[in-house]
């Protein structure tokens, strides 16, 4: 659990407070977050952790915990721009000063639940703008694509490559061609609006601001 020490002083709960917020995000969402910030739709600063931490969930858990602890010590709330990305994510979010986006993973966060599930049932392998440029490294870490069964694993569970074109970066066609060719799939470009992502962020901010807060009053 988080080392979030409660004060020994009397605690009074209050609603509707304004608090400072720092976002902690997976770098896979970096281009989209920067785009929303540039449009003025995200008004708080965001720090990033490397998306490759997903390959080692225990390291992701440790990095998130340490970063949240540091931020919470300064009395600032945390919006976690993450899905349910490791098995103990919910432990972190027990703390009312932390609000995570209501999404399963980055695909669900960008696409919305229904569209995400439809694509998964069609056997889509989702490619995100941030890691399209380094697809070979990602796939090697994910399923050892250069190993003897990496391709088999991908083929047993996927039929096609779908690039999520959020408009945050130009479509990396050359990299997608190479990736598709390596996997033996064709790829399709899927335009994705950031409206759903933005609404999840707004929901998380609202939750932080309406959670019972703590106003400390000296005990008599």
Q: Does 55 help bind other proteins (rule: CB under 8 A)?
A: no
Burial of 174 (0-12, 13-18, 19+ CB in 10 A): exposed
Q: What are the tokens at 187?
A: 């790829």
Q: What are the tokens at 172?
A: 């990396």
Q: Does 128 help bind other proteins (rule: CB under 8 A)?
A: no
> Which of 13/90 has CB closer to other proteins?
90
Sign of CA dihedral 201, 36, 53, 140: positive
- Asked if 59 and 85 count as a contact pair (C-beta separation under 8 A), the reply is no
Q: Does 159 help bind other proteins (rule: CB under 8 A)?
A: no
Q: Does 113 help bind other proteins (rule: CB under 8 A)?
A: yes
Using only the alpha carbons of the chain, give its radius of gyration. Answer: 20
Q: Does 169 help bind other proteins (rule: CB under 8 A)?
A: no
Q: Which one of 31-39, 117-125, 174-182, 202-210 is the stretch in contact with other proteins (CB under 8 A)?
A: 117-125
> Which of 89/171 has CB closer to other proteins?
89
Residues that bind other proteins (CB under 8 A): 57, 83-85, 87-90, 104-105, 113, 116-117, 120-121, 143-144, 147-150, 152-153, 156-157
């Amino acid at each position: 659990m988080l080392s979030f020490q409660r004060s020994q002083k009397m605690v009074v709960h209050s609603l509707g407070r304004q608090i400072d917020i720092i976002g902690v995000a997976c770098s896979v969402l970096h281009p989209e977050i920067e785009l929303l910030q540039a449009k003025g739709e995200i008004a708080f600063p965001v720090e990033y952790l490397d998306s490759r931490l997903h390959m080692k969930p225990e390291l992701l858990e440790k990095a998130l915990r340490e970063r949240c602890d540091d931020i919470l010590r300064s009395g600032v709330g945390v919006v976690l721009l993450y899905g349910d990305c490791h098995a103990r994510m919910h432990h972190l979010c027990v703390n009312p000063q932390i609000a995570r986006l209501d999404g399963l993973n980055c695909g669900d966060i960008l696409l919305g639940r229904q569209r995400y599930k439809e694509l998964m049932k069609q056997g889509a392998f989702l490619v995100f703008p941030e890691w399209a440029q380094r697809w070979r490294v990602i796939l090697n870490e994910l399923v050892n694509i250069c190993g003897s069964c990496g391709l088999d694993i991908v083929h047993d569970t996927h039929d096609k490559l779908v690039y999520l074109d959020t408009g945050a970066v130009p479509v990396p066609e050359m990299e997608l061609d190479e990736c598709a060719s390596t996997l033996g799939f064709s790829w399709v470009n899927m335009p994705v609006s950031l409206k759903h992502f933005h609404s999840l962020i707004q929901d998380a901010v609202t939750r932080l601001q309406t959670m019972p807060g703590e106003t400390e009053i000296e005990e008599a």
